[in-house]
Chains A and B, each alone.
Chain A
């Protein structure tokens, strides 16, 4: 059974940093691309970033490019999202998701975690 468990969310001051983690199990982690999707309170889904299973290819939404960094440790079956220079508009529930297959970027998320909440506020 595929399981994705996010952690690391919390309350942070504007301009601050936070690192999210996503522990994966139930599949060969290194064989699949992974991504992060966020959902602001009461709003829709927004793709944040994606990363290939190998070759370390990464993609970012324009809204987070230069501030967020996606990474993974295939030996620990864990995906990360380092978030710097956080803004109020980054407040959201952050989902970790497994990609169905790599097409040069993340295209289809077939499994999702339950999310971790990030609140940016003074």
Chain B
């Protein structure tokens, strides 16, 4: 199972919006609405930010939103804040009943 494709890095200024893409295939992203996004700060465990493509867990800011079109999912962060600077990973359930992650995207808040 190949990793999902994410941009290595994205950046934005405080207050701006950014979008991170996550491209897979019809065997994972395109085949299920089980796409999740995780935020990981250095030295910390990942934190679930979005699940089932666009649902937010309790306690996650509504500045985070998710969507999907075909084989590509996206995470949008609006009103960027310094604390959003972190690594972001997408994941998707697959036809093999496994889970595949993206390679990760480093978000820099300028």
Interface residues of A (CB under 8 A from B): 35, 37, 44-47, 50, 59-62, 95, 100, 103-115
| One of B15-23, B61-69, B97-105 contacting the partner | B97-105
Do B47 and A107 touch (CB < 8 A)? no
Smallest CB-CB A-B distances: 10 pairs:
A105-B97, A47-B99, A112-B45, A107-B93, A44-B104, A107-B34, A108-B51, A45-B101, A108-B36, A110-B48
Give the nearest-CB partner of B47 in chain A. Answer: A112
The reply on B7 being an interface residue by CB < 8 A is no
Do A112 and B93 touch (CB < 8 A)? no
Interface residues of B (CB under 8 A from A): 1, 3, 32, 34, 36, 38, 40, 45-48, 51-52, 57, 87, 89, 91, 93-94, 96-104
* A59, A60, A62, A114: the one within 8 Å of B45 (CB): A114
